[in-house]
Each structure stands twice: as structure tokens, then as C-alpha cells.
Amino acid sequence: MKHLYKQGNKKLPTLLLLHGTGGDERDLLPLAAMIAPEASVLSVKGNVDENGMARFFARLREGVFDEEDLLFRTRELKEFIDESAVDYGFDRDNVVALGYSNGANIAASLMYHINKSLKGGILFHAMVPRRGVDLPELNGVPVFIGAGKRDPLIPMAETEELVKNLKSAHSSVTEFWTDGGHELRREEVEEAKRWFEENFN
């Protein structure tokens, strides 16, 4: 997968950066610099092309995921992280995802489907990746969820369902709601920074 790697403090988790639809491997670098400036970064570009826009998995239409592709791409990303840990020498068991929108959805999918795939996650404006599945044990895998109360793409009930599912798998979930829409707001980034420092510094 097309990516960038930046070596940082090896005592901190490696941040796995996962962009939104139409982004690339450079999109979230400024975000990582705000939230965890000393952390190593593995920033990945999605392999799916939707009308010229990069995504991490296909969808059938707005808000409806192609589940078969989602599962395939989730495994593909997991294997890429495994290989990158060997190539770059970071601790595979200490990787925290930082995703926005489509990137947050594939990060959630890793947590839903693959045991111990992540040490934690910062999910900005994420949806429930898949319904009707039993999540692996997520005790010791904290998650920060940033959401907008007026998000036109993600109803509040969707975010609340995601939170409920993660908590049912024993993840410690921190929610932060803004009055905004699908855009990323400074206050949720600042809260994510505080959350990261409390959990991983």
C-alpha cells in the first residue's frame, strides 16, 4: 500500500493514519503533529478508487458498505501493518489508529473483526462498519470518538450504536460531540490530544 513512515519516540505508540474519501497518505500528517507530535507515524493511502477518489474499501452507495470488500480490505490493511512493523522496526502490538470518516470506518473494522489488531483508536466521524457480528475482546483498547451532532452523513444514533458496540466488547470509549457537521473541528482535535496523553504518555 502507498504510505509514508516517520520515525518518532519508540516508547509511544505508532500512529496509523487513515484518511477520508479522496485523501492520501499526506492528509492527516498535520493532525498527527497536533495530537502526538513525538509519535512515529505510518500513514497509508487507501487502495480503492471511487471515481478518482482514494478510499479504503468500496461502497454500494452513500452510507452502504460493500461488506465483502470491507472484509477483504480490512485483512489487507492488517497484513500491511504486520509487514510494516517488520520493515520499519516498530512494535506491532503498540499501534493506535487515527482515522477520519472512511479511514475511521476501516479502523473500526479492524477492531470489529481482528483480535489485537490495534492498541487503541481515534475515530473522527465514524460509522458502524458491520452489523450482526460478535466483536473480539477490546479490554485494554481505549477508543476516542469525535462526532458532530449535525453530521448530514452520520446520524447521532449511528455513532451511539458504534459506542455501544465497542463498550459491549469492554473497550473504554470516550465520546466528544461538537455542534458541527461532518467537518473536523479544532475542539475535537484538542480533546483527542488530551485523550492520547492521558492514555499513552
User: Is the separation of the CB atoms in 112 and 104 below 8 Å?
Assistant: no
Among the listed residues 69, 170, 172, 182, the single catalytic one is 182
Per-residue pLDDT, 63: 79
What is residue 32's predicted lDDT score, i.e. its pLDDT? 98
d(CA 196, CA 180): 22
66 labelled catalytic: no
Alpha helix (H) ranges present in 50-101?
67-88
Whether the pLDDT of residue 36 is over 90: the answer is yes
> Residue 151 catalytic?
yes
Examine the pLDDT at 52 and tell me if it is beyond 90. yes
Phi then psi for residue 34, to 5 deg, are -80, -40
Q: How confident is the model at residue 201 (pLDDT cuts 50, 70, 90)?
A: confident
pLDDT, position 62: 82
Give the pLDDT confidence score for residue 106 in this predicted structure: 98
Catalytic residue among 101, 109, 117, 171: 101
Condensed to tens digits (0 to 9), the pLDDT of residues 53-103 reads: 999 999 998 878 999 999 999 999 999 999 999 999 999 999 999 999 999
**Mean of pLDDT values over 131-140:** 95
Give the span between the Cα atoms of 12 and 91, in whole angstroms.
Answer: 10
117 carries an active-site annotation: no
In the set 27, 117, 151, 171, the catalytic residue is 151
